[in-house]
Structures are given as C-alpha cells and as structure tokens.
Amino acid sequence: MSSSSAPIDLAGIFPPIATPFDERGSVRPSALERNLEFLNLYDLKGVVVLGSNGEFVLLTREEKLITIETVRDLLPPGRLLIAGTGCEATQETVELSRSAARAGADAALVITPHYYKNRMDREALIRHFTTVADDSPIPIILYNMPASTGLDLDSPTVTELARHGNIMGIKDSSGNLNKMAQILGTVKGDFQILAGSAGFLLPALSLGAVGGVVALANVAPGLCIDLYQAFLRGELDRAVDLQVRIVGLNNLVTREGGVPALKAALDLVGLVGGPPRPPLQPAGTEMRERLRRSLSELDLLGEGTN
C-alpha cells in the first residue's frame, strides 16, 4: 500500500477550476495562466483540477495530464494541487492517478464509478477505492457527487474506507449534513471532510469539515475565504451574513446553471471562461443577465481585471 510520508492538511478553500478552450475547442493553457494569476492573489489552500467544473469527463487522457502539468507550473510554492483521476474502470483510475502524481498532483480526487450504478453496491465500491488507494503513490480523496453520478456514498461505506491509510478524506457535494455528522462522529484518525459547495460551507464547517472545494471560489475567492476565516475566528454573525450573501450567486453557478453558468461568470468578472465543451451548451441570455445582476450586487463585476 502506498501512503504519503506526512499527512496533508486540507484545511482551507479550494476552487475547482474551469478548463478553458480555444476557438477550435482545444484546451487553452494561456487562459489557465490568466485565471491562476488572479487566484494566486488570494490565500487559497490550493486548487482542484479535473473536477466536475473542469469538465473532466469530456477531456482526453492527454488533455488531463497537460492541464495538471500546466497548473502545477503556475501554482506558488506551498499551494496544493488536487487532480480528479476517477474513471469508470478501476485499473484506468489507478493508471491515471499514477500519471497525475508524476505530473505534480499532491492528491487524487476519485469520483464513484457509476455507469453500472445498479451493480455499484458497497462491496464493489470498497473494492474499487481500496484498489486505487493501494496502488496510488499520492493520497486519495473520495468524491461524492450524487447529483451527477446517481450514487450517494453512505456513511458506513465512507467510515470503512476512512480506515485505509492512503484515503485521507472526502469531498462531499451531497449537502446531506446528517450524513456528514454521522461520518465525523465515527471516523478515527485524521480523515478530513471538505464541503463540496459554498451553499452549505458554514454548516459543514460547524459540523467539523476542514474546508471546502467550492465552485464559487473561482469568481468570488475573497468572499469564500472571508467566510472561512470568520468561522475560524469565532465571528459567527459575520460568517452567517457572508453565507446568506453568497447563496444566490452560488445557486446560479452550481445547481441552476452548472458549468456553462460558471464559465459565463468567469467572463463577466474579467477572467477567461469561454464556451463549455459540447454537448454542454453556453449559458443563455437570461442566465447571463441573472449572473450579471448577482455579481453586481456582490461588487464582483470586473473583479478579475484588478
């Protein structure tokens, strides 16, 4: 079994960055540089590449590795790089996790295999994640995204997987705070939970989550970090105020609009979003106008040009 020589502290805020494409639909490294220049101005713990917001299921293996290498070169020393390596096949996930490690990833974010979801019982999932963790040279973070996969890792499964020395935590995008509390109440050691959305960041932190991988941090990193730090300082009134303020914009770039809306929001703040990769379609006029109003209310229009 592989395991890191020292535990990795995940406490903090991670934006799951978008993957920009050029006019031919190819990955655009120069746009990654522009967006990372902006994010590097903030006290983020690191970034996630090849997550759902990075359109990882629409990228080739070569594109995935180019993206990891590009972002690694752009990150300041000390910033963590988490790379999505989950594939449908266990062996392919192992191989991509190894390649991601060579490309500079500090940890691998592994989503549940889900095409044969009616066969993905607890035994199948435990075997999958255990095999990947056994053979990965970098730590594994479980990725629970039931809105996309149709599978929801339950607390007994997560608790059992948490015993593995190379499974360090979970990014939970389910929003199920009851389950989060159950996991935190039963896991032992240094297993860490990351909230998967800014929409429930404060409630998750209050239960014991160490931070969040939140799409909103791509366009509003300052607000997400302010909320996190207000919680750490015990300034709960301020943290609650910030949580309430960000809910509307967060809903637009997650549940309502998804990746196309996030990319439109990036364009509106002066960063590079561009079109999503087909079959995803660009955000429509109505969504863009709603994004513009919400960004304006939070004083974020043009933020990325500063």
The structural domains of the chain, with segments of one domain joined by +, span: 12-244
Cβ pair 30, 69 in contact under 8 A: no
**pTM: predicted TM-score of the whole model, two decimal places:** 0.96
**Residue 263 is a catalytic residue:** no
Give the other-Cβ count within 10 Å of 114's Cβ. 16
- Give the model confidence (pLDDT) of 87-103 as tens digits: 999 999 999 999 999 99
Q: What pLDDT does 306 receive?
A: 61
Scored b (16 or more CB within 10 A) or e, 131-144 reads ebbebbebbbbbbb
Residues 75, 224, 256, 280, Cα dihedral to 10°: 0
pLDDT tens digit sequence for 170-225: 999 999 999 999 999 999 889 999 999 999 999 999 999 999 999 999 999 999 99
**Active-site residue identified among 45, 64, 171, 263:** 171
Average pLDDT, integer, range 213-238: 98
What architecture does CATH give domain 12-244?
A: Alpha-Beta Barrel (3.20)
Once rounded to an integer, what is the mean pLDDT over residues 134-142?
98
For residues 65 and 100, the answer to whether their CB atoms sit within 8 Å is yes
Q: Which of 171, 135, 148 is nearest to 56 (CA)?
A: 148
